[in-house]
Structure 1
């Protein structure tokens, strides 16, 4: 997807470009308004001026009067026209002569010829173009008439196209100093036809300039062309020419290379443009951000003496009825004349928006590598982290973009960076979500039959807690089996046996699951389970032992029920051991089971069988006892070496939670431990005496009978002198 993002940044689809332009507008709004250069002002033919002076267009002598007062009386340094004088204004004397000529004899009789001759002698008074021409000549080095050009001949009127050679001849001396490569001519906008001023206007001044705008596809003015090309010559805009006059006529030059405009200079000023010679406007605010002076106030001498002194002035129409309105990021009804003022102020202060070629190259690289980085950052991360990255990276991009825009007037196309981030992060996150959902479904299917629902839910939410294939974990193994199952099963029909076992297994399994245990498997009447996997538990040993105690308590209740129903009484043996074991999905690719294996598993199984030898319901190893001794009261049973294991193990019988243990029981446990200690040290008779006493107190405790029989044997056939108390079991 990073490659796709990179390709989009190169191709620049119109939809993404349009979104980027809107985001650029938002950057203007977020930055807020700025104060423009106070040396730039607008002379406006506004609605008030039309109401006071009359409808537009005004007579050329009125225009001349405004210009003369602005540059003369009020002392402006340079003036640019955002208007064109493309046709001669009708001479009112000529119009009077035409009308009188139709019926002059009827009006003047024999004196008609004399009157007509006199009227012709007054013709110069009706030539208002001459008045304007005279004013232009008077201030020729301070003002720039504007003109409009057509970039395609197909859209130009025939009359305009027919005057192209004449207009070109008049303009040629006004071209910029330029340097072209052979392939560069097509980089700049091309003049196909000119809607120019009448020749007497063009010849009366030292400079002219075009005032075209090229709005973006959405109609918003964000840039202004500073130059155009015709017949190998480069011609500057009205704004450039006016600024040149204001700066006392510095040299104006352009270098156009193979990829477009490379450098535009106006004296000491280096102007940033795009490849076509257009400058990105750094708008200061909505309409009338610049100082506006009504042309009516100029004509009627209502300005203070120095309001326009030494300023650069753009003379144009802002009246709504004339419709010279543009859309900008700040204002949908922005006066077109003010856009030229924005350009001049930008250039004067080096405030134009910048997109140097280096920025475009860096953007392309950033689109690719940031997309890769974003995809890497979300891959395999938790949803919260993914969401933070998916939202956070675009926020960082927008923040950085806004900072560059506000502090350095640099425009970076943040939309392509954001698109690149989203193209890699969202699909990656979605694919991860799908994979995670499948993993959760697998976990649910795999564990729902032998894990508590809460444990399954926890695993589904945190699948990383499960490592499929096998891992070593410190857990507690549980083995249980019904004593003499074969004997009592013979007393039941198969149907009764199944019903009985289901009832028993359900009761025992419910307790295991309530204690968050994992049921490994059922083998007939046997239950094999473990605690501490697949979900880690710090108290796995305690939960396992509590589960065993609760099962024996529940069995006591069930025995009463079964007895009342005429069913056999059932006793269950349980073996427990804690230690490192391997747990995981074992089996084949098509059939597997989440199970445990290892030496400590085997020991737990052996302890279940050892219960029979000591006639106790539960046995746990010392490893388990050391983990639960603070919470569970247990009595020491013996030190044995089970079949198949060389290392001896101390056996303990969990009796109850410590908070539930009676003092009498505690005293009995200590008495037994004393008797066992006497046996260990070879005082078998004293040990037998104490064991006999304990048996008399608890005749139903089979452990005492077992130990009494062993002590009687030791009295007649004592163990070796180096005996360590280990009893070697011969049966599993």
Structure 2
């Protein structure tokens, strides 16, 4: 930012900082009110916040490595098909949902693989058609050393469980009352899985020995419920939304009694979906008004970590000796870390079941070595037909088991759930964004920024809060600050375009008659009146004049109106060409045009712009000559001089009348170069500094080294031919021949130089510099000048 621009910005801040603070505070207040009443507003802000959360999570929380704590056994479509197509498996386990002896075999195999625990992301709340299979499954769970955890669903029609006194001594894992424990060493399942090969009795043929009785409600309640304590708040209620949109109580559905005492623990498998159906958060523990219940991952982690209860205190969840950061309401965002296949190793159900068969036959299991060793194995559905497809931030089609696995992996692993920053922190960001928006737009008053900034807030604020989420697992509200920023931006734009319009009208009315329109618009943009003082700035000055204008105007001494019309047409064409390249018209002096490049608007490429403007002006005049020739008007030629130098630029004049112009030796030289074209037969002559700044983009001919009147220092001057690559081969030959002759001329070898030029003069008979240098060489060959230094003097 230039010094003048910075001065303008600072002035606007000093004039309006109180207004800026007020607008930011108002925008923050409105945003906070919208946040508080969003439900009554239709939840649009919550929906936008969920979208922003999803974008931040997917961009910045994806994990590079798979879990080292949890492995999945997936009930995938190939498993369903291969079990169905295997007659022996179908005979022993039936079709989906399989007989529970299949899960017994899976548990046995996972125990053999060294798994730490098995978690079944499903419920078993209906007795099997053959209750002996349920009893046999329970027996396996009791006799194996591996803990098994099972899900529990809820339903409004389920019977409430009696309150549990967790202070009382819990009973050991045992079979329900009335169920006979098998003696040690008794085998409920045959050792061989395939009866056709061994002659053993099948599971389907095994008769049910007894009708399994129910367990006492108190025992059921102690098995399903789990202690949970929350200081200063109540746990979320188990309820559902009825058809009348009212909340109605819900209760856990009792698992089959035979599993009570056999399963290590039961946990809720609530969907916990947001309003849009996506799984993003978990609540850890619930209450039905009588008892408290842990979610399935929490129940597993509590058992493995030796925790006797779930404890909430402030924004902390405690399980035994482990603590976890959660939100103030006891919930937390699930750190999925990516899609299921990216986060967890998984093995198909069929592979595990087949491994059990191979192990019984003494063959290698073909399972990945050490896949399950010391891991918690979560069994869940992955097949489309199981209707357990859920949506997460990473995918709209994820198996529901990924939620249980992700929560459990966090509880057992790094313990970092995604939490929301406290509301005051988010509101602080809201104020910062709103304040930055109003300050930026009210101080710069740049129309492209007024459009781009609100769009940038809407689409880009997540790139500020997202990395913070990735580093800290803390989500700062993003849609709310964006909303406040947009409100503040609209307010700032309204100020710029309503209040500033009054100043614009005043400046235009007061100064448009005395100053160039571009300078007036610059003052409007900067809100700064012109001053009589100026500054030293490097610019490129443009001077042009009509060759022989006195003779030209003599033709119209009896028709001055037509002369004015012709002159106005000429000035309009030349001016338009210059303005298109960013030039600032300084003045018209009769038929002469003075233009500045690089002031008042700073232009780093002012020299190149001036060269482009000069070439465009020459082209415009050439077209105008053709028009004049067609109208029978006299021919018109123009000459142009360009020079780049540091000049003093500003408003010069009196308090009554001033104009924006430049003064200095650089301006004088540009005027001299314009006149010098006559001596060299050229159209556009440029100074050495202009050539130095634009040399990479232009084609030139070095004309001579000259000394202007009143100066002792010689300068090199050039003829501007075209932009880079715009010179034809014939002209290049002419220029090369001229440079060769010029080198001989500077060595005072005038005869040789004349011979070089004269030898091919017929090929470029209209080349003015060739004719001028040839004439000078011929003259000097006859009468060499004394003290020749190769420098030509430019007279006034």
Which of the five TM-score ranges fits, normalised by the shorter chain?
0.5 to 0.7
Q: Does the alignment pair 1:199 with 2:260?
A: no
**C-alpha contact (below 8 Å) 2:162/2:221 kept by paired residues:** no
Deviation at 1:441, TM superposition (A): 5.0
Residue of structure 2 in register with 1:376 after alignment: 439
**C-alpha contact (below 8 Å) 2:228/2:292 kept by paired residues:** yes
Deviation at 1:365, TM superposition (A): 1.8
**C-alpha contact (below 8 Å) 2:69/2:375 kept by paired residues:** yes
> Which structure 2 residue ranges, 5 or more long, are not aligned?
1-26, 85-94, 164-215, 240-248, 356-364, 536-559, 576-583, 589-594, 603-649, 679-796
Q: Does the alignment pair 1:273 with 2:336?
A: no
Residue of structure 2 in register with 1:50 after alignment: 80
**Pairs within 5 Å for 1:146-295:** 146-150=151-155, 156-157=156-157, 160-161=158-159, 170-172=220-222, 175-181=225-231, 184-185=233-234, 187=236, 189=238, 192-231=250-289, 233-247=291-305, 249-255=306-312, 262-289=315-342, 290-295=344-349
Q: Distance in 2 between matches of 1:403 and 1:373?
A: 20
Q: Distance in 2 between matches of 1:75 and 1:362?
A: 47
Residue of structure 2 in register with 1:426 after alignment: 490
Deviation at 1:463, TM superposition (A): 1.0
Of Structure 1 and Structure 2, which has the larger fraction of its residues in helix?
1
Residue of structure 2 in register with 1:641 after alignment: none
Distance verdict in 2 for CA 1:430–1:193, change over 3 Å:
same
Residue of structure 2 in register with 1:6 after alignment: 32
**C-alpha contact (below 8 Å) 2:236/2:286 kept by paired residues:** no
Q: Distance in 2 between matches of 1:187 and 1:436?
A: 54
Residue of structure 2 in register with 1:142 after alignment: 147
Structure label with greater radius of gyration: 1
CA deviations on 1:79-105 (whole Å, 9 max, x unpaired) are 1121111111123xxxxxxxxxxxxxx
Residue of structure 1 in register with 2:424 after alignment: 361
SS in 2 for 1:82: strand
Q: Distance in 2 between matches of 1:269 and 1:299?
A: 35
**Pairs within 5 Å for 1:412-491:** 412-436=476-500, 439-440=503-504, 443-444=507-508, 450-451=513-514, 455-464=516-525
Residue of structure 2 in register with 1:297 after alignment: 351
Q: Distance in 2 between matches of 1:371 and 1:426?
A: 10
**C-alpha contact (below 8 Å) 1:40/1:313 kept by paired residues:** yes
Q: Distance in 2 between matches of 1:631 and 1:224?
A: 77
Q: Distance in 2 between matches of 1:209 and 1:167?
A: 17
Distance verdict in 2 for CA 1:516–1:439, change over 3 Å:
farther
Residue of structure 2 in register with 1:61 after alignment: 101
SS in 2 for 1:379: helix
Q: Distance in 1 between matches of 2:270 and 2:408?
A: 15
**C-alpha contact (below 8 Å) 2:220/2:254 kept by paired residues:** no
Q: Distance in 1 between matches of 2:237 and 2:495?
A: 47
Q: Distance in 1 between matches of 2:664 and 2:53?
A: 71
Distance verdict in 2 for CA 1:280–1:36, change over 3 Å:
farther
The normalised TM-score by structure 2 is 0.51
Deviation at 1:147, TM superposition (A): 0.3
SS in 2 for 1:270: strand
**C-alpha contact (below 8 Å) 1:280/1:352 kept by paired residues:** no
Q: Distance in 2 between matches of 1:83 and 1:512?
A: 88
CA deviations on 1:26-80 (whole Å, 9 max, x unpaired) are 2233234532322311122221222132432111222222223223x22211111
The normalised TM-score by structure 1 is 0.56
Q: Distance in 2 between matches of 1:132 and 1:242?
A: 20
**Count of equivalent residues:** 479
Q: Distance in 1 between matches of 2:105 and 2:431?
A: 60
Q: Distance in 2 between matches of 1:131 and 1:397?
A: 58
Deviation at 1:502, TM superposition (A): 12
Q: Distance in 2 between matches of 1:444 and 1:511?
A: 27
Residue of structure 1 in register with 2:113 after alignment: 74
**C-alpha contact (below 8 Å) 1:227/1:278 kept by paired residues:** no
CA deviations on 1:487-514 (whole Å, 9 max, x unpaired) are xxxxxxxxxxxxxx99999999999999
**C-alpha contact (below 8 Å) 2:151/2:296 kept by paired residues:** yes
**C-alpha contact (below 8 Å) 2:227/2:293 kept by paired residues:** no
Residue of structure 1 in register with 2:633 after alignment: none
Deviation at 1:395, TM superposition (A): 7.2
**Pairs within 5 Å for 1:335-354:** 335-350=399-414, 352-354=416-418
SS in 1 for 2:125: coil
Residue of structure 1 in register with 2:5 after alignment: none
Residue of structure 2 in register with 1:653 after alignment: none
User: Which residue, 39, 45, 59 being the options, matches 2:69?
Assistant: 39
Distance verdict in 2 for CA 1:241–1:630, change over 3 Å:
closer
Residue of structure 1 in register with 2:125 after alignment: 86
**C-alpha contact (below 8 Å) 1:140/1:204 kept by paired residues:** no
CA deviations on 1:297-349 (whole Å, 9 max, x unpaired) are 22222443643222101122222101111111222211111221111112222
Distance verdict in 2 for CA 1:63–1:632, change over 3 Å:
closer
RMSD: 4.6
Deviation at 1:202, TM superposition (A): 2.6
Distance verdict in 2 for CA 1:80–1:464, change over 3 Å:
closer
Q: Distance in 2 between matches of 1:465 and 1:277?
A: 54
**C-alpha contact (below 8 Å) 2:153/2:253 kept by paired residues:** yes
> Which structure 1 residue ranges, 5 or more long, are not aligned?
92-125, 151-155, 476-500, 520-530, 539-577, 584-594, 602-623, 634-656, 662-732
Residue of structure 1 in register with 2:48 after alignment: 19
Distance verdict in 2 for CA 1:8–1:394, change over 3 Å:
same
Q: Distance in 2 between matches of 1:245 and 1:474?
A: 82
Deviation at 1:403, TM superposition (A): 1.4
Deviation at 1:396, TM superposition (A): 6.8
